[in-house]
Amino acid sequence: MVYNILITGATGCVGQYMVDEFANDANYHLFLNIRDESKFKIPIDQCLNKTYIKDDLQNIGRYKTELKKLDYVIHIATTWGGVEDVNVKSVEEICKYVDPKRIKKIILFSTASILGRGNKLLAEAKTHGTGYIKSKHQSYLSTKDHELEDKIIHVFPTVVLGGDATHPYPHVGNGLKNMNKSIKWLKYLYFDLGFHFIHAQDIAKIVKYIVINETNERNIVLGNNYMTVKELIEQIAAYYGQKTIVKIKISTWLINFIITVFKIKVSEWDKFSINYKFFKYDTVNCKTFNLESTKDTIQKVLASL
């Protein structure tokens, strides 16, 4: 039997790694929601098990016939501006038109930014968040008590890295690619902050595992081991052969002081994040599912860039 999968955001960083995982797998046929296939860096013409849905995601309701045929949905597409037509209403449209008797899993991509300690929903995401974060918060709540709730799995990536010659870079990936230039001065500083990261290729591997295998978890936070910014800088410096002897700590109070004195414009979410500081979660990664990862450390990620 061939299963039909809708992948939205297929031309994005995570999306192209996701297509890699399913391309030419005889068990699946891919419905790829895109606007422009020229944005693919992967050899998409070699993917034989695909059908394009070439339209803006806010028009997904026009494709009721295709939606009724779906066995799985992997909804990655988003807009950073937090446009509700994409980040909220598209989820509602997809859930409305899939066949509840046929659909097996609907995997919705959110962001770990809407979660706090213990992976609990963060109230400040609604009150202080950017348009993007607020819309993800709203989208998550909109699926609560939905008739398909038992088939919906929310995926919360932490900081997403990735990209190479054949895959697009996410925002952070572009920054890491040029770290060899800035680490010469950055190695003398560190910030009292911490985070998790995960590579887009590992995200794709885990999502395919979730598609194939049963899971009781409905909220899955993706990330490798927690690390501080100090550890990050040290690892990047070591990769480029830079010694870190003297380090100056940039404290939270100093950052807030500089923002105030120089009247630097920052969002409410930025202010909250600076003071919240430690975005630490209970995460899963490739090791959790006994999957091989070649990009689970900063050194490996830098080598892959």
pLDDT tens column, 161-216: 999 999 999 877 666 777 877 887 777 777 778 899 999 999 999 999 999 999 99
Average pLDDT, the chain: 90
pLDDT of 15 > 70? The answer is yes
For 33, phi then psi, to 5°, come to -85, 110
Do 60 and 93 form a contact (C-beta atoms < 8 A)? yes
Which residues are CB-contacts of 173 (< 8 A; sequence separation ≥ 6)? 13, 160, 161, 162, 163, 305
Q: Is the pLDDT of residue 261 over 70?
A: no
Angle at the Cα of 166 from the Cα atoms of 161 and 168, rounded to 5 degrees: 45
Predicted TM-score (pTM) of the model is 0.93
Q: Where are the beta strands (DSSP E) in 64-178?
A: 72-75, 105-109, 152-157, 159-161
Specify the range with the lowest mean pLDDT, choosing from 36-50, 198-212, 227-241: 227-241
Domain range annotation of the chain: 3-162+196-223+280-291, 171-194+228-276
Which of the following CATH numbers is that of domain 3-162+196-223+280-291: 3.40.50.720, 3.40.640.10, 3.40.50.2300, 3.20.20.330? Answer: 3.40.50.720
Which residue intervals of 240-290 are DSSP H helices?
A: 252-261, 268-276
Cβ–Cβ < 8 Å for 121, 113? no
- DSSP-derived 3-state class of residue 181: helix
How much is the pLDDT for 182?
81
- The CA distances from residue 18 to 5, 204, 214, in Å, are 11, 5, 19
- Token representation of residue 4: 């039909």
pLDDT surpasses 60 at 83: no
175 φ/ψ angles, rounded to the nearest 5 degrees: -65, -45
- pLDDT of 246 reads 62
Bridge partners of residue 153, in order along the sequence: 107
Q: Name the residue among 225, 268, 274, 221 with its Cα closest to residue 114.
A: 221
